[in-house]
Amino acid sequence: MASVDGWRPPVELPEIAFAGRSNVGKSSLLNRLVRRKAFARVSNTPGRTREVNFFSVNKSFILVDLPGYGYARVSKARRAEWRPLIEGYLRRSPALRGIVQLLDARHDPTDEDRQLFELLAEIGVPTIVVVTKTDKLASGKLRERLHALAVELELDESQMVAFSAVTGTGRDELAEALVSLLGQPSWRSA
Ligand code: GDP
């Protein structure tokens, strides 16, 4: 799906969408999650992906890769494009079961991270926060960061998954969380 009102695949299976700023490690996480090397392209040129991509997984659900946001080296107008596109997807996804929002373990959430977080809270869609690149921090420092993020975002630490695409930490925990989301009726019908 390349524009707000552009084509999107017919709604046939439950969907789970992944969002995060450009370079947060989303492609690496998706590859780990589905155990493929090049399922989603790990990019050396962040800021390129400008569309919503849909992948059917085991004919049981649709994994939705939302455009990475917040890439600094593009014009302001292009930098603002992610929001209508993601809102457009959210509006047109009756089978959406949940969103996985990725945050880099080493950085504070950006303005755009917060904007998306607020948008998801407003809509009320179940959200899992995955903290990426945890291999880059020593374990004590990581615990501190997880706690600080939970406080800042008013999350329960049980809603957060610590993840590393390098070591595989968090892969099974995330997969289980997704299976559990997929087993629940849509929050929209609640
Ligand atoms: P995307 O833009 O969000 O899809 O991010 P990518 O998956 O392309 O990753 C951006 C950069 O971070 C690449 O250089 C990756 O190799 C690196 N990276 C991604 N995940 C991890 C991780 O868990 N640990 C480490 N150390 N590096 C990672």
Q: Cα separations (Å) of 98 from 75, 76, 130?
A: 31, 29, 13
Residue-averaged pLDDT of the chain: 91
Mutate to test the pocket of ligand 1, among 18, 23, 116 (most ligand atoms within 8 A of CB): 23
pTM of model > 0.85: yes
Ligand 1 atom showing the smallest separation from residue 24 Cα: 3
* Ligand 1 site, residue 67, Cβ cutoff 6 A: no
Tokens 């849909």 identify what position? Answer: 54
Determine contact, residues 127/48, Cβ cutoff 8 Å: no
* Ligand 1 site, residue 46, Cβ cutoff 6 A: yes
Backbone angles phi, psi at 83, to 5 degrees: -65, -50
Determine contact, residues 33/25, Cβ cutoff 8 Å: no
**Which region among 40-49, 61-70, 84-93 has the lowest average model confidence (pLDDT)?**
40-49
First-to-last C-alpha distance (Å) of the chain: 27
* Ligand 1 site, residue 164, Cβ cutoff 6 A: yes
- Tokens found for residue 77: 């107008």
Residue 42 Cα to ligand 1 middle (Å): 7
pLDDT in tens, 97-131: 999 999 999 999 999 999 999 999 999 999 999 99
* Ligand 1 site, residue 53, Cβ cutoff 6 A: no
Indicate which residue's Cα is closest to atom 25 of ligand 1: 133
The percent of residues above 70 in pLDDT, for the chain, comes to: 95
Rounded CA gap, 12 and 10, in Å? 6
* Ligand 1 site, residue 22, Cβ cutoff 6 A: yes
pLDDT in tens, 30-49: 999 998 888 777 655 555 55
